Amino acid sequence: MEVWELPTSIVVGGIDYEIRTDFRAVLDILKTFNDPDFENDEKWIVCLTILYVDFGNMPPQDYEEAIEKAIEFIDMGIKDDGKKQPHVMDWEHDAPVIIPSVNRVLGKEIRAMQYLHWWTFLGAYMEIGESLFSQILSVRMKKAKRKKLEDWEREFYKENKTLIDLDVKYSEEELEEQKRLNDLLNGKGA
């Protein structure tokens, strides 16, 4: 993938497929990957359906390559180092603090823009400097690695728990099982 240009298509199985490159489309894909109600194969089908404009005409034997190329596009061609990192951010949960930071980097309100290429958005995201979002990430990272928080970080955490703590997402099935177990524990079930 050419990093000096903003791609608008991906070659899969020798065919050039137009892709949806607006940042909102990719964020919809990432939101799906965080949704526990989808099985892994369903998540990939949603990803391919959103990203590839003409996915319905793609031969199934090309899906694996299409997935690899989708990952490469979403990651802007940056290879993962393979190290397991703690989960310290969630695009949906953090949107209220990410968006103002990206706005500041780009010098404009991105939600008012008709179109913003995913790579432009991601590049601006990577350039977020000192901000509320960076403070939130710093506290989350320290907590995830069980490092001691500075006094100001403890105070910041106490005052901003809802921004800092990421909710655990459960599938409908898991929620039903939790309810069933709670009912059993509380003498409501048989």
Q: What is the pLDDT along the chain (190 residues), one digit of tens a residue?
A: 677 899 999 999 999 999 999 999 999 999 999 888 899 999 999 999 999 999 999 999 999 999 999 999 999 998 887 788 888 999 999 999 999 999 999 999 999 999 999 999 999 999 999 999 999 999 999 999 999 999 999 999 999 999 999 887 766 776 677 777 776 777 776 5
Residue numbers of the domain that contains 49: 9-74
Helix (H) or strand (E) holding 92: helix 91-106
For residue 47, is it within any domain? yes
- Strand boundaries in the chain, DSSP class E: 9-12, 15-18
User: For the whole model, what pTM was predicted?
Assistant: 0.84
Spatial distance between the Cα atoms of 26 and 32, rounded to a whole number of angstroms: 10
The pLDDT value recorded for residue 107 is 98
Q: Are 110 and 102 in contact (CB under 8 A)?
A: yes
For residue 160, is it within any domain? no
Record the tokens describing residue 175, joined without a space.
């929620």
Spatial distance between the Cα atoms of 5 and 119, rounded to a whole number of angstroms: 10
The pLDDT value recorded for residue 83 is 82
- CA distances in angstroms from 100 to 7, 128, 163, 173, listed in the order given: 26, 10, 14, 35
For residue 44, is it within any domain? yes
Spatial distance between the Cα atoms of 113 and 121, rounded to a whole number of angstroms: 12
The pLDDT value recorded for residue 189 is 60
For residue 62, is it within any domain? yes
Q: How many independent structural domains does the chain possess? A: 1
Q: Are 6 and 120 in contact (CB under 8 A)?
A: yes
For residue 33, is it within any domain? yes
Record the tokens describing residue 7, joined without a space.
């791609």
For residue 91, is it within any domain? no
For residue 37, is it within any domain? yes
The pLDDT value recorded for residue 175 is 66
The pLDDT value recorded for residue 173 is 75
